Structures are given as structure tokens and as C-alpha cells.
Amino acid sequence: MAALTLGAFLVRLARLLESPEPPGTDGYYYVVQMQHWLAEGRFHVRDASWVLRALGLGSALFGGPVVGVKVGSALLASLCVPAAWFAGWVLDGEVGGRHTLRALGLASWAAFSPTLTHLAGDFPKTLGIVAPLFFVLGWAVSGRRSWGMLLGAVGAALLAATAHRLGASLLGLGALGAVLGLVLRGRTDSPERKWPLVLVGLVGLASFALLTSVLPNLLHPKDLERVSSQLDLSPGWPPPFPYFALRRTHWLQQVELGSAWLGLAWGAVLLWRRRELRPLVMGLVLPLAVCLFPLWRGDVLDMGYRTSLLAPLLAVPLVLLAVPSVRPGLRPLPWAAALVALALVPLARFGFDPHATPPYGRYRALISRIPQPLPELLIAHQGVNFLYDHVTGHEAMAWAPEPGLDRTRIGRLVWGVLDGEWMAYAPTREEFPPPVRLDHDYVYVREDFFEAFLARVREEGDEELLERLVDWHNPSAVRPASLLRNRD
């Protein structure tokens, strides 16, 4: 296990270090957060996720935010290996195994998984839920109910729930699935064996409810409006397959993500054939089904994409539960499997392309051409917004400004409008400064000028131009209230 953990860390860190830029589309979000945390002791955007504190520690120890975020992300991915070993060890005992094969199988997957590398590069906060969830899974089926284990289970559950909203969501779905599994199984345990599970659930829920009432960016009932707005129940290919056309994905990761459907199929078989395992299996199947069915579909940064990346986390334990236990006479098999697992660790590098970042060189050139003095706030799309914060120290956001903000103090980068279109629809009032062309695609304007221009385009009914003006390159939605909660 130690060799798998070290190998997983080194392979993923080497992959992330191949590019001098921070990894992922949101790379400079993490860099800006770390800069403010190191310089001021607070984050630029208030966030309760413990993952940011862990990355901040890495930034303090390893020479700055860019390298620190990469080291911290690789370390988070490597910690999934011992956590997966523990969960697999417990699962092996639950089904009458030798506490070896399933432990090695689950730890090996965590070591060479391309998808965990993808999470390390693109979504470190989401990655932070994986190891705690493995510990919660192991505790839930271990049968050990000492006070130390109870406290450890509550701590692991809170770590998963506070790393990212998806952690709390998967925990809730898993608990609901386990309850449904108990109903399907019928009563076989004494009440004395169930009360620790209920106690951990109640203590964890009460603790999280307290935290989310006072801290920002944790799962909260106010998020329901945002979640419902992204629902898409129209017919279509289910995840992860639509995303392969939206983002370049290595075929090994495509196989891994697509194989999550195998886990769902095995889960259905286990529910039918292994009555005693129904609480455990349903606790995995229900959240897995939410990850795999097309409840949300959109771009590669939306909720459906992130949940589809978590499907292997739930599918691999289900597949391993269906694998027959090793017979006592096959003692050499675990050693051979361990050697194979070590040989597979380099496959982890194929889950993320560190060079697939936004064109930061071009964005830096755009920022350098914005006329002085810089505005108090710049509206700029994702990829530019936090880079602008990093380069200039001024505020930018990838949302339309709230109604109460002074439009004369806000600038905007507008994409996709031709010079002739500016001339045709531009407002003629003298108090508006003229647009400044930054390159062939981008123009800098004041926000009140842009809104008057947009109103004129709508009035004239130019649908083709309107389609460009509401493209993701031109932020048009105001931040939802859930993102502003507890941030003042």
C-alpha cells in the first residue's frame, strides 16, 4: 500500500508539473485564493471548504501558490489509496474474504485511476470528498462501534460534506439508499447494533446544519433553486458519453467512466441475489444512479459533468463485491496482483492534460491593453476573471453585475461583436466612452454602454447577434443568491 500511495503521488505530481500554468479551467481561482490566504490570512472569495486550507498549506511549504496547488492536489489524490485500502479491507471481511483481494483491488484503482488525476487537475475540492467517503464506507460496514470509531466516522463524514457540495449530496443519497436497503432486506439485526449508525447520522447532520448556517459555500436548502434550474430531463445520451464530445478525454479514462455502468448492473444483481448486502449495495447504487442518469447535461463545468466523474468511486466497490472471494489455497495471488497494481500506476497520468488550459497568453495580452485607470470591477468570462485578479490585483467576475451596482464604475470584456455592429447599434449619448478594440474578438466597454447596446440589439431583433451576446464568453446571468450566502 505504501508503494502504491507513493507511486500515485509521484506520477500525478509529475503530470501536473508538466505545464508552468496552474492546472484546469479554474486554475487561477485557486492561485488567487492562495495568494490572499498567504498574504492576508483570508480568501479572496470566502469559502468554507477545508481543501482550500490544505492547498494553502502546500502553497506555504512549496514555494508559492502555483506549485503548492499542484503538490496539494497530487497529495489529495494519493491519500485516496490508503482510504480505499481500508474500505476494501472491510468489504472483503463483510463478504467472507481474506481482507486482501478487495483491499488491493480498490487501492489499486485509486492509485492508477485516470479520473482521480482528472479531479486533481480540474476539481481539487471535488477530489477532497473521495478519501473521506471511503472511510465512511469502511466504518459503516465494519461493525466496530467504539466511541473512537464513532468520532472518526463523524469526522470523516464532515470532511466529505465540507470539501464540496457534492460530498454532502452523496452522503445524503447514500444514507437514503441504505435505509431503503434495510427495508428491502427486512429485520435481521438487533436494535442495539443499529443505534450507532443512527447516532452518527444524527450527530453528523446536526453538526453540518450548524456549519452551513454560518459558513459560505456549503450545501444548503437555498441551493435547490440553482440545482433545479440545471435539470434537463429531455431525451439524450446519459453521462459520461456526451461529455466525450465536449472535452478531449483519453480513451483509458473513457473506458473507466463508461465502465461505471457495469457497477450499476452488478449492483442490481447483488440486490437480487445477496439479501444480506442490500443496505450496503443500495447505499452505493442510489448515488451511482444519480451520477449516471442524465438529470443534468450541459458544458464540462456543470453539475452533471462533475457528478459523472464521481461514478467510478461508487461503481468500483460494487464490482469488487461481486468478485468471488479468494480461496485459502491461492496464497500467491495477492502478491502477483500487487506487482500488477504497481505496474499499472503510470496509467494515472492519462486522466488529465496539463496543457489543456485556457489560452492564458492571449488573455494576458488582452488584460495589458485595457485602458487605464482600471475599473473597480471587470465583467469577464471564466478563464479571464481570476487571471485578471492575479495579474492586476483588481476585482473581476464571470457574472453580470447585480442591479444595485454603479454601472459607470464597471468595465466589461465583450466577445464576438464586429466593428460594423458596434457602429449600427451603439448608443449615441455623449457620456458613454467609446468601445476599445483589444483584439479581433474582444472589445472593452463600460457596463452602462454595453447594457444600452444590448437593449438596442434586442429592440432591433438581431437574433444572430443576440445569440453571441448571451454566449458564455459574455456573462449574462446574475450570481444566484446561494453563492452570496454568508459571504458578507
Residue 333 reports pLDDT greater than 60: no
- 10: confidence class by pLDDT, cuts 50, 70, 90: very high
Q: Where are the domains of the chain?
A: 2-351, 360-484
pLDDT band, residue 330 (cuts 50/70/90) = very low
Give the pLDDT confidence of 255-292 residue by residue, as tens digits: 999 999 999 999 999 888 888 888 889 999 999 999 98
Query: Looking at residue 487, what is its pLDDT?
Result: 65
- Pairing between strand 395-397 and 410-415? unpaired
For residue 316, pLDDT beyond 50: yes
Confidence of residue 190 (pLDDT cuts 50, 70, 90): low
Q: How far is CA 157 from CA 59, 153, 173, 238, 462, in A?
A: 26, 6, 13, 29, 52
Query: Cα 333 vs. chain centroid, distance in angstroms?
Result: 36
Instruction: Give the least confident one: 23-37, 87-101, 117-131, 450-464.
Output: 87-101
pLDDT at 300 over 60: no
pLDDT of residue 381: 93
One-letter amino acid identity for 94?
Answer: E
Are 290 and 307 spatial neighbours (Cβ–Cβ below 8 Å)? yes
Angle, in degrees to the nearest 10, between helices 65-94 and 50-61: 130
- Threshold 0.95, pTM exceeds: no
Mean pLDDT computed over 422-444: 87
Task: Identify the H or E element spanning 27.
Answer: helix 27-40
- Residue 461 pLDDT grade (very low, low, confident, very high; cuts 50, 70, 90): confident
For the chain, what's the residue count? 488
> What confidence score (pLDDT) does residue 211 get?
84
**324 pLDDT exceeds 80?**
no
pLDDT, residue 99, reads: 54
Predicted confidence (pLDDT) at residue 234 exceeds the cutoff of 70: no
Residue 363 has pLDDT above 90, yes or no: yes
pLDDT of residue 329: 46
Q: Look at 56 and 234; give whichever has higher pLDDT.
A: 56
Q: Reduced to 3 DSSP states, what percent helix, strand and coil does the chain have, rounded to the nearest 5?
A: 65, 5, 30
- Within 95-190, residue ranges assigned H as helices are 101-112, 114-122, 124-127, 130-142, 147-163, 165-185
Residue 327: predicted pLDDT: 47
Q: Is pLDDT of 68 > 60?
A: yes
The CA distance from 263 to 287, in Å, is: 12
In this structure, are residues 88 and 4 in contact, taking their beta carbons and an 8 Å threshold?
no
What integer pLDDT is reported at residue 98 of this predicted model?
56
pLDDT at 454: 92
Reading the block at residue 5, the C-alpha cell is 500511495
Looking at residues 294-313, what average pLDDT do you find? 77
Q: Which residue, among 303, 128, 289, has the nearest Cα to 224 in the 3D structure? A: 303
More reliable by pLDDT, 365 or 429: 365
Q: What is the mean pLDDT of residues 335-361?
A: 85
C-alpha cell at 435: 468601445
Give the list of residues 6+ apart from residue 195 with CB closer than 8 angstroms, or none.
none
> Is 90 exceeded by the pLDDT of residue 123?
yes
Tell me if residue 396 falls in helix, strand or coil.
strand
Structure-model confidence comparison of residues 186 and 251, the more confident one? 251
Q: How confident is the model at residue 105 (pLDDT cuts 50, 70, 90)?
A: confident
- What is the bridge-based pairing of β-strands 436-437 and 395-397? unpaired
Of the pLDDT bands very low, low, confident and very high (cuts 50, 70, 90), residue 401 is very high
Percent with pLDDT over 70 in the chain: 87
Comparing CA positions, the residue from 149, 184, 376, 178 lying closest to residue 275 is 184
Would you state the torsion angle of the CA atoms of residues 287, 292, 293, 294, taken in this order, to the nearest 10 degrees? Answer: 120
Cα 103 from chain centre: 25
State how far the Cα of 92 lies from the Cα of 370, in Å rounded to an integer: 61
- Among 315-329, 376-390, 424-438, the range scoring the smallest mean pLDDT is 315-329
Q: Is pLDDT above 50 for 369? A: yes
Output the pLDDT for position 432.
82
Mean pLDDT in the chain? 85
